[in-house]
Chains A and B, each alone.
Chain A
């Protein structure tokens, strides 16, 4: 009986439980980090202007900022398990509402960038991998440029050229409505995807070339199998394994990297929310966003593993390769 271990329900459940464990540990570390950092939240609320000590004390009371560390952590944990993420210190809003408002922009941005990475990265990689000559050299040059130019820089160049000078795209904001949002997020998604797309293109190219030169595809060609069939079934499909890993890792990293682009394009995503919340020691918001990021990372990795199993029958069947 061959074990279909990788895709069994137990596999998924075990991974989810492990993820929950990681979430708890990381939330504790984030909480401890915020606690240890200098400064106190109520001072940032009234930055640069003086209020009476009584007002500051009232704020501390309202948010239980004087309770001991473990008490506060425990209170936070128990309310999260009941679905209440607490209140933002900065503007007294429910953290759940705050995130619900800001998350769509980041998700849309990451999704668009992910699509661009897959289409541009894998597409160019296949192009370079299957052709020699000028096309290959151009793709190599482009990918060198892609990872040499940092995201923030790419964002500024795109902004300056296409928004300010040419006026084809808006200068700031994330727009309203599906099409408007797509238009607003085009340049940011492009800027965000460039370094990752460059890496993916290189890895894909290398993987394709390895497969092209591998024994089984040479054999298939020698036996007279058509070129495009060999390409599809043997070369491209086999090279997808390393490519999937790289794409997965980069997409998972997009969420964390999105804040740079959000800042450059003044987008209302959770990246800029996180930066502001950390500076102002807005505990509840930082905790919530940290959880989301860790969870997103874990889920994407899980999906990549499942995708692995779908692509590679050897993995599914648990046979050693």
Chain B
């Protein structure tokens, strides 16, 4: 008697909790053809707004340790670089008034005068020199070291308000990196005074941006307060205080946004999408992005055979993945370069992309390609993913479906998130598997900079030992090409080569997923929120 009485309330409870979640697969139909660059401009100021970082709390505010979503999303509003990335991907002068580049190995920056740090002291060329040199100092341990920074020969103060950077090899992409923390300027005195505490809640930072740090309640929230002495009057923050929370659980994020407790968020979890799309208190925006989801080969097993990779790509229904796993908010990837991931040579890149194979499934074609394979096709191919992120399992299952159709076996293998991180830095961690997933992004809207990391012999994201001397030469040629269209042309060649050799299989290009309460508006919808002071544009919607 008592047991059956129990069933009723439990069933009711189950029904209640399922209302908070969202249906699996087949979400709302969202258009991706017109991805946004900006959201409607704010019409007024706000005293207080709330935001969320779905990927967790920043580990540090030190720009040289800001190398991932949470840190960069916050630091972009606090500290500034010599150049500034704009929502339309163009690059404008920031703390540098202008830059001269007599050749691709020399960059002469004229430092802007009259810029104050939050404490009122003036920014000088010495601060700039100090900040840039931090990248080269092994004691500082900058996460941005290597690659581009490794190519810097010297950084010198060549005038009262002038700093010159000389590179070892010519690199036309260098200036665009000045929008990232590589080019960020911090106050030398405060860095030296704070010592080991720099970037922590006790040491903080001292920068020039439109916001400074208010309270930082570890584990709960961080407050950004408007800098009323910001040097750029036009870009003065419209919100006096922005409280940023660190909720990572998808259901909790969904609840907080749909009840209005939080005003907005980037990087919305996929499972929260259908709830938020039908929310009545705000709007879901999809923006132009520089992100890509791909499968990275480790150089082991059957996956090491390029014919196998090509066949798998052709047999996988990537358009279905974009429509179901990403609920229509992504596009199947035609290239390793995300669609529209460029800020120069637009026509050239569009044409080049048009010559690549289309993304539709082609089982017959895949079987043809597989005939050229030399590896042992009977071994199962293990693709590793972080087990907490179940959408990867869905993606790999779809790949496994395609694989089965052409006679291959693909096994999704989950490992705990904490261990998965090691795949990107420890070759030993990659030993027992054939491939692993990545949700990757271009640091700057320059296809050359991105491709270089994947197909260059010492590329920072080259995890499978891909090394072709002619590719390396093409990369150097592209980096030395001053003319943008010429550079774009060489990069197109590299792109074609990359899609032929396919060291990574590109799956989809996700869009930016942004939600804003109807009370606020103004932030960019495009993927610039890691380096552009997006919070300064946030203001009242009515």
Contact = CB atoms under 8 A, between A and B. Distances in A.
Contact of B261 (A45, A92, A102, A171): A171
Given A157-B17, A170-B261, A44 B421 contact: yes
A172 B221 CA distance: 11
Interface string B139-164: 10111011000100000000000000
B5 interface: yes
A239 to B, nearest CB: 24
A95 to B, nearest CB: 12
B200 A92 contact: yes
B424 A50 contact: yes
Interface residues of B, number: 58
A44 B418 contact: yes
A273 B217 CA distance: 13
Contacts of B419: 38-39
Nearest to A269: B219
Interface in A77-100: 90-94, 97-98
A268 B6 contact: no
Contacts of A93: 200-202, 218
B255 interface: yes
Contacts of B113: none
B68 interface: yes
Nearest to B440: A48
Interface stretch (B245-253, B333-341, B343-351): B245-253
B426 to A, nearest CB: 6
Interface in B214-235: 217-221
A266 to B, nearest CB: 5
A92 B199 contact: yes
A174 to B, nearest CB: 7
A141 B418 contact: no
A91 B219 contact: no
Interface string B451-487: 0000000001100000000000000000000000000
A193 interface: no
Contacts of A149: 10, 13
Interface in A34-91: 38-40, 42-56, 58-59, 62, 90-91
A280 to B, nearest CB: 6
A130 interface: no
Given A46-B143, A171-B256, A141 B13 contact: no
Contact of A59 (B13, B17, B141, B258): B141
B20 A49 contact: no
Nearest to A280: B418
Interface residues of A, number: 61
Nearest to A92: B200
A156 B20 contact: yes
Contacts of B145: 51-52, 54-55
Contacts of B259: 163-164, 167, 171
Contacts of B221: 173
Contacts of A198: none
A58 B261 contact: no
B258 A58 contact: no
A148 interface: yes
B74 to A, nearest CB: 13
Interface in B48-68: 59-60, 67-68
A145 to B, nearest CB: 6
Contact of A159 (B139, B200, B255, B461): B255
A160 B20 contact: yes
B33 interface: no
Contact of B421 (A46, A161, A171, A264): A46
A24 B2 CA distance: 47
A279 B417 contact: yes
Given A40-B422, A43-B426, A172 B252 contact: yes
B275 to A, nearest CB: 10
A282 B381 CA distance: 33
Given A92-B200, A159-B255, A50 B10 contact: no
Contacts of A47: 68, 417, 420-421, 424
Contact of A157 (B13, B196, B424): B13
Contact of A148 (B10, B60, B138, B139): B10
Nearest to A98: B218
B416 A279 contact: yes
B292 to A, nearest CB: 13
A171 B16 CA distance: 16
A161 B424 CA distance: 42
A94 B67 CA distance: 22
A160 B202 contact: no
B422 A43 contact: yes
B429 interface: yes
A98 B201 CA distance: 10
A268 B2 contact: no
Contact of B60 (A91, A102, A280): A91
Nearest to B216: A101
Contacts of B417: 47, 279
A172 B247 contact: yes
A38 B438 CA distance: 21
B189 interface: no
A108 interface: no
A167 B260 CA distance: 10
A50 B16 CA distance: 43
Given A55-B143, A55-B145, A49 B60 contact: no
Contacts of A44: 418, 421-422
Contact of A50 (B19, B141, B197, B425): B425
A144 interface: yes
Contacts of A163: 255, 259
B425 A46 contact: yes
Interface in B22-43: none
A164 B418 contact: no
B200 A91 contact: yes
A140 interface: yes
B83 to A, nearest CB: 22
Contacts of B425: 42-43, 46, 50-51, 53, 56
A45 B67 CA distance: 10
A160 B10 contact: no
Contacts of B13: 149, 153, 157
B219 A268 contact: yes
Contacts of A161: 16
Given A48-B439, A101-B217, A90 B59 contact: yes
A209 interface: no
Interface of A: 38-40, 42-56, 58-59, 62, 90-94, 97-98, 101-102, 140-141, 144-145, 148-149, 153, 156-157, 159-161, 163-164, 167, 170-174, 263-266, 268-269, 272-273, 279-281
9 nearest A-B residue pairs (beta carbon): A268-B219, A47-B421, A52-B146, A279-B418, A43-B422, A58-B141, A268-B220, A91-B59, A171-B255
26 contacts: A39-B419, A39-B422, A40-B426, A45-B59, A46-B68, A48-B438, A49-B424, A50-B461, A54-B146, A55-B143, A90-B59, A92-B60, A92-B197, A92-B199, A92-B200, A93-B218, A101-B218, A102-B218, A149-B13, A157-B13, A160-B19, A164-B20, A167-B259, A172-B247, A266-B245, A279-B417
Interface of B: 2, 5-6, 9-10, 13, 16-17, 19-20, 59-60, 67-68, 138-139, 141-143, 145-146, 150, 196-197, 199-202, 217-221, 245, 247, 249, 251-252, 255-256, 258-259, 261, 416-422, 424-426, 429, 438-439, 460-461
